[in-house]
Amino acid sequence: MPFPHDPILHALVLGVVLCSALLGVTSYFIWFERKFAGRMQGRVGPKHVGWEGLLQPIADAFKLLLKEDIVPRAADKPLFHLAPLLAVVVALMGVAVVPLASGLVIADLDVGVLFFLAAGAMTVLPTWMAGWASNNKYALIGGMRAVAQSVAYGVPMVFGALVPVIFAGSMNLSEIVAAQAGGHWFLWWPPGPGLLAAGIFLMASLAEGNRIPFDIPEAESELVSGVSTEYTGMKFGMFYLAEYVHSLVGSALFATLFLGGHDGPGPDLLALQVVWFALKTMAVATFILWIRWTFVRLRSDQLMTLCWKWLLPAGLVVLMVAAVWARFVPGRTA
Amino acid sequence: MSIVKPCLDALRITFRHLGRKPTTVMHPFQPRTRAARWRQTFALVHDEHGEEACIGCKKCEKICPSEVITVVMAKKRESPATGQKRGWADDFTLDLTACIVCELCVQVCPVDAIVMCRAPTPPGGAREDLFLTMSRLYANEHALPRAPITGTSLIASHQPAEDVAQ
């Protein structure tokens, strides 16, 4: 291990490096998304700033930094300033427990899955904070929708994440990855419950991150821009960034829980493991983009119907099947 | 679960589009193909006797939705060519800055005096370039190619022509 043995120093160094890297990756992921969406719609995407628009994220960041920072007169100022910052911090929190390679994890918690789900559930806090502090009816409605949605979808998300936990017999993400070693990824092994759980988890994590097609808290056609209506400049940029970070970290967790994390063919090298992990995360993130640029936004009541009438019972059934499988079928389960 | 198939179909369609060539034309850097019936500016024409065809009836001024046409009517006087009395326009201006290119003036003209032209390049961004005085309108008559269908024949022509590259 090339990292210091003091756990606090280890977490600090690795955390700063990983978070900086993730923010850089995020800004180029936005470039990738714009190119991807462009090609999907027969357009070319960003083209003019740098080769094939590669400098566009930097130009956008400068544009956002130079914009006027407007605060509504009647806003709750401390909360208004705090919300975008908290949004990014909360979105980045999940990185702490995701193992990039064997041993390469900021905090190897025994309750990693629980920590991640708790951190994910906390995204509702800055969203609601922004909605309340803006003193704007659209922001308020958006904030209330975000709360309803996140609280509802937290439940099927937990059910989806519990299936790998049952199979691996541990909430430690490193052990979950170890249980999938050799290509026995929980997505297809054991066949059935893993795949269903992955679908439920993916849908729920899209909804929890307020991504299209579940972006009703910022439904542009109804709510101007939802919770970020009153935000300008870099504060708006931070909400934007937080949404993408949340999506990438969610993809990373999906890759860890269902796609075997850093498991892949080839020699057991740290660098290769990181590459496998990055490839899987990008594949999941691209799949999310594919969904985003294909489907239209659900209505509020359809969203709740999907959660309470379909995902929740399906999650319970899948959980039951997984538990029975883990108890009675001998093999690669703890 | 009738919703699953449409969802998969939608995903399949968007995935297929990923490999498709973009249809974007990088317009200021690449020339755009103009449709066969594309037209953008106006001309006033002379009749078969070589006289100004406009009789100054102000019908175009009245029908213009954005009110960009101004016609100054002159007194009726004898035509030098035919010897018959007819109307004349003392002045005729058309402001392209607010023109919506609806071509109603062309359709309403009883003597087919105003026509649309196919200019090869846009008329320019300066405001004075877009203000067509009477002399400029008459200069356009021979300077620019005519639109394929002009005058009252526009009303009869409801069949769209086939679009071809210019």
Coil vs helix vs strand at A229: coil
The three-class DSSP label of residue A193 is: helix
Residue B2: its chain A contacts at CB < 8 A? none
For every residue of A32-79, which 3-state class applies, written as one string? Answer: HHHHHHHHHCCCCCCCCCCHHHCCHHHHHHHHHHHCCCCCCCCCCHHH
Task: Please give the backbone phi and psi of residue B74, each rounded to the nearest 5 degrees, phi first.
Answer: -105, 165
Mean pLDDT of chain A: 85
pLDDT computed for residue B123 by the predictor: 64
* Gap from A305 CA to chain B (nearest CA, Å): 14
Q: Note whether B24 contacts A43, CB cutoff 8 Å.
A: yes
Question: pLDDT digit of tens for each residue in chain B (166 aa)?
Answer: 688 888 889 899 888 888 888 888 887 787 777 777 778 888 898 888 888 888 888 999 999 999 999 999 888 888 888 888 888 889 999 998 888 888 888 888 888 888 888 876 666 678 888 888 999 899 888 888 887 766 667 666 655 666 655 4
pLDDT at A82: 92
B15 Cα to chain A: minimum distance (Å)? 7
Distance of CA A193 to the CA centre of its chain: 22
Q: What is the ipTM of this complex?
A: 0.74
Over range A151-172, report the average pLDDT. Answer: 87
- What are the tokens at A286? 């691209």
For the entire predicted model, the pTM comes to 0.75
pLDDT grade for A316, boundaries at 50, 70 and 90 = very high
Q: Count CB pairs under 8 A between chains A and B.
A: 33
Span A198-210, pLDDT tens digits: 889 998 888 887 7
Does residue A158 surpass a pLDDT of 60? yes
Testing the interface with A: which of B13, B17, B26, B27 to mutate, by most A Cβ within 10 A? Answer: B17
Q: Has residue A3 got a pLDDT over 70? A: no
Question: Which of A36, A43, A294 is nearest residue B22 as measured by Cβ atoms?
Answer: A43
Show which residues on chain A lie within 8 Å of chain B, measured between beta carbons.
36, 38-44, 47, 290-291, 293-295
Q: Does A42 contact B20 at a Cβ distance shorter than 8 Å? A: yes
Closest by CA to B133, choosing from B75, B90, B73, is B90
At B1 the pLDDT is: 64
In chain A, what residues touch B18 (CB-CB under 8 Å)? 36, 39-40
Q: Domain spans of chain A?
A: 74-328
B11, B24, B26: residue with CB nearest A290: B11
Sign of the CA dihedral running A61, A64, A66, A69:
negative
pLDDT band at A332 (very low <50, low <70, confident <90, very high): low
Closest CB to B14 among A38, A40, A47: A40
Look at residue A4 in the predicted model and tell me its pLDDT.
Answer: 57
Alpha-carbon gap: B33 to the closest alpha carbon of chain A (Å): 18
